[in-house]
Chain A
Amino acid sequence: EPEVTQTPSHQVTQMGQEVILRCVPISNHLYFYWYRQILGQKVEFLVSFYNNEISEKSEIFDDQFSVERPDGSNFTLKIRSTKLEDSAMYFCASSEVGEQYFGPGTRLTVT
């Protein structure tokens, strides 16, 4: 069964460093998303991406964040200068229409 994959599973970085989180969505899906979940809190929407452009973003997704689909298979989330409060699980999701399928997540720890 096709699934969304994410790498790395765990990323530790120092405050101020740039990180890139990678996702491989399900191959025939057209819509891509990033969500995050701070430990003990709700899953929060960050951004959606369709047709090579951002279709919607939340107030969390500020200028420090960017997304890219560099080739036909990968979908990346870049955080330019990480802050302590960026520590969270980051989930990628993709959909064809309707239901979204989530990856296993990347745990980002900013020290």
Chain B
Amino acid sequence: DAKTTQPTSMDCAEGRAANLPCNHSTISGNEYVYWYRQIHSQGPQYIIHGLKNNETNEMASLIITEDRKSSTLILPHATLRDTAVYYCIVRVAGGINDYKLSFGAGTTVTVRA
């Protein structure tokens, strides 16, 4: 799986949009970008994923650059409950042996009142 690079930490203000960048310059054509988050010591929580088109769901939006070498997760209106470690993971989706997730250190996001 392609390696990703994320900032170690970032702060954002409650009610404002939080934009979380991720670099994945070695991504392959059949690899998806997945975002998960982990609140304190809870189990990782799936947020969103995409291949090349921008995606939006009830939690967030995912913007993938045209060359697919980077992406941005957008939390549109951050709340205190969004304080967590956010992981950007690139992996092939398809094939039984390619389903594992490889977690990095992620970005520690702190939402401040």
Residue ranges of A at the interface with B (Cβ–Cβ < 8 Å): 4, 31, 33, 35, 37, 42-45, 48, 50, 55-56, 58, 89, 91, 93, 95, 97-105, 107
B102 smallest CB distance to A (angstroms): 7
CA distance A28 to B104 in the complex (A): 29
Please tell me the number of chain B residues within 8 Å of chain A, measured between CB atoms: 21
Q: A87 to chain B: closest CB distance in Å?
A: 13
Residues from chain B with a CB closer than 8 A to the CB of A103 are: 43
The distance from the CB of B18 to the nearest CB of chain A, in whole angstroms, is 21
| Dominant secondary structure of chain A at its interface with chain B | strand
Contact assessment for A89 and B41 in the assembled complex, using a CB-CB cutoff below 8 Å: yes
Instruction: Tell me the minimal C-beta distance from A104 to chain B in angstroms.
Output: 5
Q: Are the C-beta atoms of B99 and A31 separated by less than 8 Å?
A: yes
- Residues of chain A within 8 A (CB-CB) of B104 are 42
8 A-B contact pairs sorted by A residue (CB < 8 Å)? A42-B103, A55-B96, A55-B97, A89-B41, A95-B99, A100-B46, A100-B101, A102-B46
> Which partner residue on chain A sits nearest B49 by CB separation?
A99
Indicate if B19 sits at the interface (CB-CB under 8 A): no
Q: Does B21 contact A (CB under 8 A)?
A: no
